[in-house]
């Protein structure tokens, strides 16, 4: 009986805690942001209006830019004392990957549901609406304490990180609008770890997305055309060769430290298209491969190898790059970079153990580094199951609120770095790793 009573008390206490969190203003804003369905391809106007409202409440200057119709970029300025010093850019993306509640979500993916265990559920909870709200709440707290920062701080919100950034970060970083921000350092997204540490991305892998079109004879489904004259046969040769590379790189990955996914190249066949009827040997088959290059790969030699494999697979096969990013440099994570020193000291002050890491994937930060600006990717989610892009993406409120506190300290440290301690040329805090 007493065990049952204890269980009931525990349930009651957890419900009370969850209710207290439900009244927290930061939690409410986080839930509201998740409730805006910003799935890639959706109209982002509601998200833009959401941020314009929040910026107005803080009396902030805001711009919205469109380099492509339907892809708004939001820039919110938190002014500092000295705009001649390089600014701190807090970047995030509004778009999220698709989520269908019929895929097994415990709660609707755009509900921002707060359960009795004080966990917020929804698409974007980890990737990366939590971080965006943490930026905002940290800056709001600093402002409420009448703390004026030395450097300008900008929140930038991109529209299409999940689909390659061709309409967001790519044109933005090349624009006069970006140049006017006078950026010294960019912060971007990281990831969760089910460990008591938080990774800090200092380099991203280059993304190559490749379409291979195999053309061959079209004939009756009952015939026996020579296999290497058919689209299927030629594509089979391509697949076997590319996946043999995948096997080799997979073996490398097994020996790689969790902080260094940059030591191997990942390659996956993600799409196969073709065929017109059940009884016709298809004339064309298309394959789409997603490749993330090891950070030391010589891109010229690697492309030459791919093209040679295509040539060996048969005639009338074409290779098209759907996306082909050059390898970005890495940001120095050591005493030679005062921004790293300020960042890591801030994290340590708040009890966060940070781990310099090269992730298996890529973020918008790679375009910043390629343009000559150091960047760190950081999502303060230690001891958190990795659920980016997953069904039942969620984040505990305790972790979310702790993230606001650490960002408050990080922003304070970075935005108060004296000009004499940093170079006017931010590219000095970058270095190249590719061959």
Q: Which of 255, 253, 257 is nearest to 355 (CA)?
A: 257
Query: What is the Cα–Cα distance from 433 to 332, expressed in whole angstroms?
Result: 11
| pLDDT tier at 180, thresholds 50, 70, 90 | very high
User: Does the pLDDT of residue 280 top 50, yes or no?
Assistant: yes
Query: What is the Cα–Cα distance from 168 to 149, expressed in whole angstroms?
Result: 28
Query: What is the Cα–Cα distance from 163 to 44, expressed in whole angstroms?
Result: 14
Total tally of structural domains belonging to the chain: 2
User: Does the pLDDT of residue 367 top 90, yes or no?
Assistant: yes
pLDDT given at position 7: 45
- Domain limit, last residue, from 324, 356, 376: 324
pLDDT given at position 5: 52
Mean pLDDT value of segment 238-245: 97
Q: Burial, 350: exposed, middle or buried (Cβ in 10 Å; 0-12, 13-18, 19+)?
A: middle
Mean pLDDT value of segment 369-389: 97
Q: Which of 109, 133, 68, 166 is nearest to 394 (CA)?
A: 109
Query: What is the Cα–Cα distance from 216 to 232, expressed in whole angstroms?
Result: 8
62 forms beta bridges with 76
CATH number at residue 307: 3.30.70.360
Mean pLDDT value of segment 357-374: 96
* Contact (CB, 8 A) for 317 and 212: yes
pLDDT given at position 340: 98
CATH number at residue 364: 3.40.630.10
* Contact (CB, 8 A) for 392 and 130: no
Q: Which of 152, 128, 60, 81 is nearest to 414 (CA)?
A: 152
Q: Following DSSP, what letter does each residue of 266-314 receive, concatenated? A: EEEEEEEEE-S-TTEE-SEEEEEEEEE--TT--HHHHHHHHHHHHHHH-
Mean pLDDT value of segment 337-344: 98
* Contact (CB, 8 A) for 309 and 296: no
Task: Indicate whether 20 and 111 sit together in one domain.
Answer: yes
User: Does the pLDDT of residue 281 top 70, yes or no?
Assistant: yes
pLDDT given at position 16: 54
Largest CA-CA distance found in the chain, in angstroms, rounded: 80
Residue 216 dihedral angles phi and psi, to the nearest 5°: -150, -175
Mean pLDDT value of segment 284-308: 97
95 catalytic per annotation: yes
Task: Indicate whether 332 and 302 sit together in one domain.
Answer: no
List of residues 6+ apart from 61 with CB closer than 8 A: 55, 76, 77, 79
pLDDT given at position 233: 96
Sign of the dihedral through C-alpha 10, 12, 13, 19: positive
Q: Name the catalytic one among 95, 152, 162, 186.
A: 95
Average pLDDT value for the chain: 94
Task: Indicate whether 218 and 286 sit together in one domain.
Answer: yes
Mean pLDDT value of segment 354-377: 96
Mean pLDDT value of segment 225-241: 95
Task: Indicate whether 118 and 238 sit together in one domain.
Answer: no
Q: Following DSSP, what letter does each residue of 366-377 receive, concatenated? A: HHHHHTT--EEE
Mean pLDDT value of segment 95-119: 96
Lowest mean pLDDT among 137-141, 188-192, 219-223, 400-404: 219-223
Task: Indicate whether 62 and 155 sit together in one domain.
Answer: yes
Lowest mean pLDDT among 1-5, 46-50, 54-58, 298-302: 1-5
Cis ω before 104 (30° cut-off from 0): no
Query: What is the Cα–Cα distance from 207 to 161, expressed in whole angstroms?
Result: 12
**Radius of gyration for the alpha carbons in the chain, expressed in angstroms and rounded:** 24
Task: Indicate whether 150 and 244 sit together in one domain.
Answer: no
| pLDDT tier at 19, thresholds 50, 70, 90 | low
Query: What is the Cα–Cα distance from 147 to 96, expressed in whole angstroms?
Result: 33
Q: Name the catalytic one among 127, 137, 161, 393.
A: 161
pLDDT given at position 435: 62
* Contact (CB, 8 A) for 187 and 346: no
Task: Indicate whether 312 and 355 sit together in one domain.
Answer: no
* Contact (CB, 8 A) for 204 and 365: yes
pLDDT given at position 196: 97
| pLDDT tier at 6, thresholds 50, 70, 90 | very low
Task: Indicate whether 21 and 98 sit together in one domain.
Answer: yes
- Domain limit, last residue, from 324, 344, 374: 324
Task: Indicate whether 274 and 180 sit together in one domain.
Answer: no
- 116-167 pLDDT per residue, tens: 999 999 999 999 999 999 999 999 999 999 998 999 999 999 999 999 999 9
User: Does the pLDDT of residue 400 top 50, yes or no?
Assistant: yes
* Contact (CB, 8 A) for 387 and 379: no
Helices (H), 176-291: 176-179, 231-254
Task: Indicate whether 197 and 302 sit together in one domain.
Answer: no
Structural domain including 224 reads 207-324
pLDDT given at position 131: 98
Task: Indicate whether 125 and 149 sit together in one domain.
Answer: yes
| pLDDT tier at 20, thresholds 50, 70, 90 | confident
Mean pLDDT value of segment 392-420: 98
pLDDT given at position 13: 47
Say if strands 284-292 and 266-274 run parallel, antiparallel, or are unpaired. Answer: antiparallel
User: Does the pLDDT of residue 9 top 50, yes or no?
Assistant: no
Tokens describing residue 77: 């300025």
Query: What is the Cα–Cα distance from 413 to 32, expressed in whole angstroms?
Result: 29
Task: Indicate whether 183 and 236 sit together in one domain.
Answer: no
- Domain limit, last residue, from 298, 324, 350: 324
Identify the DSSP state of 2.
Answer: H
pLDDT given at position 17: 54
């Amino acid at each position: 009986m007493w065990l049952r009573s204890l269980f009931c008390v525990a349930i009651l206490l957890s419900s009370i805690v969850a209710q207290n969190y439900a009244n927290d203003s930061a939690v409410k804003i986080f839930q509201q942001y998740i409730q805006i369905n910003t799935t890639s391809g959706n109209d982002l106007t509601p998200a833009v209006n959401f941020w314009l409202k929040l910026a107005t409440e803080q009396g902030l200057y805001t711009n919205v830019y469109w380099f492509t119709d339907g892809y708004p970029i939001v820039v919110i300025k938190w002014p500092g004392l000295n705009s001649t010093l390089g600014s701190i850019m807090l970047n995030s993306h509004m778009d999220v990957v698709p989520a269908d509640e019929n895929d097994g979500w415990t709660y609707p993916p755009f509900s921002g549901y707060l359960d009795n265990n004080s966990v917020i559920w929804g698409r974007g909870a980890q990737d990366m609406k939590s971080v965006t709200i943490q930026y905002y709440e940290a800056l709001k707290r600093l402002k409420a304490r009448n703390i004026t920062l030395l450097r300008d701080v900008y929140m930038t919100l991109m529209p299409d990180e999940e689909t390659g950034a061709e309409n967001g970060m790519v044109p933005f970083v090349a624009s006069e609008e970006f140049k006017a921000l006078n950026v010294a350092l960019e912060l971007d997204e990281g990831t969760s770890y089910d460990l008591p540490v938080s990774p800090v991305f200092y380099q991203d892998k280059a993304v190559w997305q490749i379409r291979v079109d195999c053309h061959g004879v079209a004939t009756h489904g009952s015939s026996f055309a020579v296999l290497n004259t058919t689209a299927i046969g030629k594509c089979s040769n391509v697949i076997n060769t590319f996946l043999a590379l995948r096997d080799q790189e997979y073996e490398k990955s097994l020996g790689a430290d969790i902080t260094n996914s940059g030591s191997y190249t990942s390659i996956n066949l993600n799409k196969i298209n073709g065929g017109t009827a059940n009884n016709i040997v298809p004339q064309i088959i298309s394959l789409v491969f997603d490749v993330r290059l090891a950070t030391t790969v010589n891109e010229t030699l690697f492309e030459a190898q791919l093209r040679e494999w295509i040539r060996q697979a048969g005639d009338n096969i074409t290779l098209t790059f759907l996306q082909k990013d050059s390898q970005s440099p890495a940001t120095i994570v050591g005493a030679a970079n005062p921004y790293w020193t300020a960042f890591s000291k801030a994290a340590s002050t708040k009890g966060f153990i940070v781990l310099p890491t090269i992730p298996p994937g890529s973020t918008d930060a790679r375009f910043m580094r390629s343009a000559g600006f150091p960047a760190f990717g950081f999502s303060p989610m230690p001891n958190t199951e990795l659920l980016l892009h997953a069904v039942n993406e969620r984040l505990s409120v305790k972790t979310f609120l702790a993230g606001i506190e650490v960002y408050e300290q990080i922003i304070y440290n970075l935005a108060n770095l004296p000009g004499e301690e940093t170079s006017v040329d931010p590219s000095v805090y970058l270095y190249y790793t590719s061959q």
